[in-house]
Amino acid sequence: MAKSTIKFKDCVARFEELKSEIKRGQFAPIYLLMGEESYFIDELCNLLSSSILSPAEQAFNQLTVYGKDSEAGQIVNLCRQMPMMGSYEVIIVKEAQQLRQIEKLSHYTAKPQPSTILIVCHKEKSVDKRSAFYKQCNAAGVVFESIRPRDYEIGPWLTQFIATKGLRIGNKAVQMLTDHLGCDIAKISNEVDKLVVSLAQGTTEITDRDIEANVGISKDFNNFELCNAVAVQDVKRAMNIADHFARNPKDNPLLVTIMALFGLFRDMFTINYLRWQSQKKGIPFPDDMELMRILKKSNVYAIGELKQQAARWPNPKVFKVLGLLREYDGKSKGIDTGGMTDGELLRELLLKIFMQ
Predicted confidence band of residue 328 (pLDDT cuts 50, 70, 90): very high
CA dihedral angle for residue 212, residue 213, residue 214, residue 216, rounded to 10 degrees: 50
Domains of the chain: total: 3
Identify whether 1 is part of a domain: no
Range of the domain at 110: 8-146
Instruction: Tell whether 85 and 105 lie within a shared domain.
Output: yes
Task: Give the DSSP per-residue string, 12-72.
Answer: HHHHHHHHHHHHTT---SEEEEEES-HHHHHHHHHHHHHHSS-HHHHHHHEEEEEGGG--H
Q: pLDDT, tens digit, for every residue of 209-258? A: 888 888 878 888 999 999 999 999 999 999 999 999 999 888 889 999 99
Which percentage of the chain shows pLDDT scores above 90?
72
Predicted confidence band of residue 3 (pLDDT cuts 50, 70, 90): low
pTM listed for this prediction: 0.77
Q: pLDDT, tens digit, for every residue of 23-38? A: 999 999 999 999 999 9
Predicted confidence band of residue 278 (pLDDT cuts 50, 70, 90): very high
> Contact, 103 vs 132, CB < 8 A?
yes
Predicted confidence band of residue 300 (pLDDT cuts 50, 70, 90): confident
Last residue within a domain, chosen from 116, 146, 176: 146
Predicted confidence band of residue 4 (pLDDT cuts 50, 70, 90): low
Domain containing 106 — which CATH number?
3.40.50.300
Instruction: Tell whether 162 and 245 lie within a shared domain.
Output: no
Q: What's the pLDDT at 1?
A: 46
Last residue within a domain, chosen from 101, 118, 146: 146
Instruction: Tell whether 137 and 255 lie within a shared domain.
Output: no
Q: pLDDT, tens digit, for every residue of 170-215? A: 888 888 888 888 888 988 998 899 899 888 888 999 998 888 888 8
Q: pLDDT, tens digit, for every residue of 83-93? A: 987 789 999 99
CA distance 194 to 41: 21
Identify whether 54 is part of a domain: yes
Instruction: Tell whether 122 and 17 lie within a shared domain.
Output: yes
Identify whether 323 is part of a domain: yes
Last residue within a domain, chosen from 166, 190, 215: 215
Predicted confidence band of residue 326 (pLDDT cuts 50, 70, 90): very high
CA dihedral angle for residue 300, residue 303, residue 305, residue 306, rounded to 10 degrees: 170
Instruction: Tell whether 101 and 191 lie within a shared domain.
Output: no
Which percentage of the chain shows pLDDT scores above 70?
99
Q: What's the pLDDT at 338?
A: 85
Instruction: Tell whether 260 and 288 lie within a shared domain.
Output: yes
Q: What's the pLDDT at 307?
A: 94
Which whole number is the average pLDDT over 319-331?
95
Identify whether 3 is part of a domain: no
Instruction: Tell whether 123 and 246 lie within a shared domain.
Output: no
The mean of the pLDDT values for the chain is: 92
Identify whether 87 is part of a domain: yes
Instruction: Tell whether 22 and 139 lie within a shared domain.
Output: yes
Domain containing 234 — which CATH number?
1.20.272.10
Instruction: Tell whether 156 and 267 lie within a shared domain.
Output: no
Q: Which residue has the higher pLDDT, 76 or 301?
A: 76
Which whole number is the average pLDDT over 16-23?
96
Q: What are phi and psi of 118, to 5 degrees?
A: -100, 125
Identify whether 89 is part of a domain: yes
Instruction: Tell whether 128 and 169 lie within a shared domain.
Output: no
Residue 271: pLDDT above 50? Answer: yes
Instruction: Tell whether 261 and 248 lie within a shared domain.
Output: yes
Identify whether 236 is part of a domain: yes
Instruction: Tell whether 199 and 254 lie within a shared domain.
Output: no
Residue 5: pLDDT above 80? Answer: no
Q: pLDDT, tens digit, for every residue of 95-130? A: 999 999 999 999 999 999 999 999 999 999 999 999
Identify whether 2 is part of a domain: no
> Contact, 133 vs 106, CB < 8 A?
yes
Domain containing 182 — which CATH number?
1.10.8.60
